[in-house]
Structure 1
Amino acid sequence: MLRKLAKMSYVTRVLKVDPTAIHFSPTAHIDGALPTFSDPKTHENLLEAAKIIRDTDGVVGFPTETVYGLGGSSLNDKSVLNIYHAKNRPSDNPLISHVSSIDQLNRKIFGVDSGSPLRNIPAIYHSLVSEMWPGPLTILLPVPRNGTLSSLTTAEQPTFAVRIPSHPVARALIALSDTPIAAPSANTSTRPSPTSASHVFHDLNGRIPLILDGGSCKVGLESTVVDGLVSPPLLLRPGGFTWEQIKKMGGAQWSNCKVENKKAVESGEKVRTPGMKYKHYSPTAKVVLFVPTHQERSRESRLDNVIDIINRKASGSKKFAVLTGSFFPSGMIKDDRCVIRSMGESMLKIQSNLFALLREMDEAEEVDMIFVEGVTENAEGLAIMNRLRKAASNEVISF
């Protein structure tokens, strides 16, 4: 259930920041050294956003390397409630806490400021974080008994999710506020995640005071979430790092890492990470996903079948879209109502473009049905198909 807060409205401001003007030392993600700035305006705007995070119950939209986040203090119940309220997000859906350094994790969440930097991170994670932090990797840690973390970030579970983002704006915001930031994607709940400041403004204008505009996000999908506290370890949510990379960089303990493949979660069941329980990543338009399978039929025969299905399902549409990858040709549908867009031919391009194209079809093209060419579920394809299956709900067709 969403816990109730008094409704608040804002004049939402968008402040430009230049990621290239923010500079960190090579060890800042460990020792917490503050960044330097080559652009005074970027520094000024970041300090304003940091003040909101540190000194108020407010929340801020900001870029990460994955998607734009909606951030509030992980240590402040009211800030966390304001995140849920702005997104209209159920409060039994946990949030990831973002820190700027391992030093900040130790001081601000575990409440200790001496000893080995990795003393609060179980050994099974050491290889992963040394290779993948800062970056799109989220790990689960036990909630400290006497820690300061708001229980609302964990959905009252014994673990919490944490990562160090690599985007300079995100790192600088967290470092300047010296506050762990709880941050789901900065969109209305269930909508495709935002990869630009304009996406955030479209969804949350009037609901939050400030958005930091640092340009488009590079990765385009949320972080990978892993649980090393169980045996065998689990990949709970595929994302910016692939399952193959986790197994390779994690060492022997991660060689048997399993992928959480639960298709549905019961209404009363608790989940350990965002993105597992509720409808996610969906545009307003209905999404139909085509899933490639190993078939003996010719390419022409398979395409003819896809075209027949699209023409039949779109017969009552005012306007529909086809998002293509490497298999569907650009001119496959001859219909004036059809908008065709390429997501890209490489997995990385598709991953980066996916959410933006789903939003474009909704917001700019005003289509009522979107047909999407799926990809094979290896490497980056696992995360891509995870998002597309959720966006399409039960509308999945093999071809």
Structure 2
Amino acid sequence: MKTKIFGKEGISEAAEILKGGGLVAFPTETVYGLGGNGLDKEAAKKIYAAKGRPSDNPLILHVSSIEEVYPLVKALPEKAKKLMEAFWPGPLTLVLPKSDLVPKESTGGLETVALRSPENALTLDLIRACGFPIAGPSANLSGRPSPTEASHVFEDLGGRIEGILEDGAVGIGVESTIVDLSENCPTLLRPGAITIEDLEEVLGEKVAIDPTLLGKSMAEGFTPKAPGMKYRHYAPKAEMILFKKKEEDETRSGQEDITKFILSYGGKELSDCPEQEAKKSVAKAILSYGEKELSVSSEKRIWILCGEDTASLYEGDGRFTVQILGRREEPLSMTHNLFRLLRQADEEGAELILGECYSEEGVGFALMNRLKKAAGQRIFYV
């Protein structure tokens, strides 16, 4: 199969492919999506097959307006209307009880459907041209870092899908926030650029956080209500490890003890160090761990993924490739670069990625969610 690249002038042709049951990747403000007819169970099956995605991992249906939601759900609660009016089009997905119009092949077998309206003019035009909701998980092979450019889509899915609608690099760089409104209490299932604080301000009530986002294990046989909950996601080919300052209220339970790998900080306890000294200690731990790895194999390609403010702490050692994720005080600058850098690490043959951790306040919650998943939840406390 030849994969065709479309620009704005190719929307009509892309729509005809989708109407015929084919697959076309499309741009959004978050990541590129892999599109198929959301009401066609055979198209849904093709999406799972193209990605190598487990069939119990729900798809998100993309619409161009709130009005298009009504036929897809049993009812539209007031809470959903408030959030749609506040954040659509935008990076927010809502989970609601589905109508009979939506096939279970598009919902991972669930009685709920995930819906969002993306903030991208080309894709909104594509949805309108199709006349049906477009099912669209991220347009990558399952488990790989999500695509933030059309070239990433082609790298993973070239020859597996009919087309790619190209519109440059995305803005946000991580997937949408997902909120479950299928029950009385709104529950955050996946963090994104719309923060829990943003949601609570609009709703005027507390939003619960799904236990899986707080490190709780899922029960055997659990069926995820939203993408990204059950399976390993966003992972580079290289082994990835995160390093974090141990807070007083955190424990090492389930974590590897790295004291034998790190340099001592003048005998001081990290909890007594000011913030900058704590950053220096994390940097020392990362460099020490990297040096230990190099002592085993001097040819090992090691990346250090850090904030702009700490990059200078890693300078002067040409054995490591230092990559700046973004500005610590602007987590959206980091989400914008994350998946691109993880893919670049693969392209350049990195074998080990050692990364810093960041505040989980606001958008930082989404950033750390993706970093932890990319690292397989491996965090070394220092």
Q: TM-score range by the shorter chain?
A: 0.7 to 0.9
- Aligned partner of 1:369 in structure 2 is 352
Is 2:24–2:163's contact at 8 Å kept on the other side of the alignment?
A: yes
1:260 maps onto 2:210 in alignment = yes
Distance 1:313 1:249, change over 3 A: farther
Q: Which runs of 4+ in 1 moved over 6 A?
A: none
Q: What amino acid is aligned across from residue 92 of structure 1 in structure 2?
A: D
Q: What amino acid is aligned across from residue 386 of structure 1 in structure 2?
A: N
- Deviations 1:71-104, CA, capped at 9 Å, x for gaps: 1011111100110000000001111111111222
1:324 maps onto 2:306 in alignment = yes
Work out the CA distance in 1 between the residues paired with 2:195 and 2:18: 32
1:205 maps onto 2:158 in alignment = yes
- Aligned partner of 2:361 in structure 1 is 378
Q: What amino acid is aligned across from residue 352 of structure 2 in structure 1?
A: M
Q: What amino acid is aligned across from residue 351 of structure 1 in structure 2?
A: T
| Alignment counterpart, residue 92 of structure 2, candidates 127, 134, 137 | 137
Q: What amino acid is aligned across from residue 391 of structure 1 in structure 2?
A: A
Deviation at 1:258, TM superposition (A): 1.4
Q: Spell out the pairing of 1:147-158 with structure 2 (5 A cutoff).
A: 147-158=100-111
2:314 is paired with a residue whose SS is coil
1:190 maps onto 2:166 in alignment = no
Q: Which runs of 5+ in 1 are unaligned?
A: 1-9, 18-41, 111-118
- Aligned partner of 2:11 in structure 1 is 46
Work out the CA distance in 1 between the residues paired with 2:211 and 2:338: 22
| Alignment counterpart, residue 333 of structure 2, candidates 349, 359, 364 | 349
1:385 is paired with a residue whose SS is helix
- Aligned partner of 1:174 in structure 2 is 127
Equivalenced residues, count = 348
- Aligned partner of 2:27 in structure 1 is 63
1:390 maps onto 2:373 in alignment = yes
Deviation at 1:314, TM superposition (A): 4.8
| Alignment counterpart, residue 214 of structure 1, candidates 151, 164, 167 | 167
Q: Spell out the pairing of 1:182-331 with structure 2 (5 A cutoff).
A: 182-250=135-203, 252=204, 255-262=205-212, 263=215, 264-294=217-247, 295-297=271-273, 298-299=277-278, 300-315=280-295, 316=297, 318-330=300-312
2:311 is paired with a residue whose SS is coil
Distance 1:302 1:318, change over 3 A: closer
Work out the CA distance in 2 between the residues paired with 1:329 and 1:336: 13
Q: State the TM-score, normalizing by the size of structure 1.
A: 0.83
2:151 is paired with a residue whose SS is helix
Is 1:292–1:375's contact at 8 Å kept on the other side of the alignment?
A: no
Q: Which runs of 5+ in 2 are unaligned?
A: 248-270
Deviation at 1:228, TM superposition (A): 2.2
- Deviations 1:339-383, CA, capped at 9 Å, x for gaps: 1111111211001111111111111x2111111222111101100
Work out the CA distance in 1 between the residues paired with 2:353 and 2:344: 11
- Aligned partner of 2:261 in structure 1 is none
Work out the CA distance in 2 between the residues paired with 1:301 and 1:199: 35
- Aligned partner of 2:266 in structure 1 is none
Is 2:18–2:36's contact at 8 Å kept on the other side of the alignment?
A: yes
- Deviations 1:269-317, CA, capped at 9 Å, x for gaps: 1110000000100011111112344432334444323321232245436
Report the aligned-residue RMSD. Answer: 1.8
- Aligned-residue sequence identity (percent) comes to 39
